[in-house]
Amino acid sequence: MNDDDFIGRGWAFPLGVTANGTIATIGGPRKLEQAMALVLSTYPGERPFRPEFGSRLRDFVFDSATHTVFSGIEGEVRRSLTVWEPRVLISDVVVYPHSDQENVLLIDISYRVKGENDQRNLVHPFYTIPDEGE
């Protein structure tokens, strides 16, 4: 079974066209990465016909970078991907600050495609609003 049999193929996100004018499609592990990023960047309620879809990562955008907040983000990422991306098994989620940008947290997601032993990871940036009082 190839990746397209299980993962599927679909329109690339963001939507694009190929050199010959057809809609760009994507499949395999790259499609899963796009699907996971879409889950994490969509807030519940944004999709009228699927109001529960997404994650509540934006609830953390004004919080300070503490271990408690990191733990909350890790839990929300794990929960939302478990619910909305059934093609993967989440092994680990680690949140840490970007070394060069103080208002960026990096979310390192270790996962496996179900039915495979190929461990993969996706690093998803999460942008916070800097504290105005500092």
The CA distance from 133 to 22, in Å, is: 50
* Percent residues over pLDDT 70 in the chain: 92
Say what the pLDDT of residue 131 is: 65
pTM of the predicted model, to two decimals? Answer: 0.82
Query: How long a stretch of residues is the chain?
Result: 134
Say what the pLDDT of residue 3 is: 52
| Average pLDDT value for the chain | 88
Q: With CA atoms as reference, report the closest residue to 105 among 75, 128, 71, 121.
A: 128
Report yes or no: 44 and 56 within 8 Å, Cβ to Cβ. yes
What is the phi/psi pair of residue 24, to 5°? -70, 135
Structural domains in the chain plus CATH codes: 28-127 (3.10.450.40)
Report yes or no: 98 and 105 within 8 Å, Cβ to Cβ. yes
Is 58 a residue whose pLDDT tops 90?
yes
Say what the pLDDT of residue 121 is: 92
The CA distance from 19 to 2, in Å, is: 25
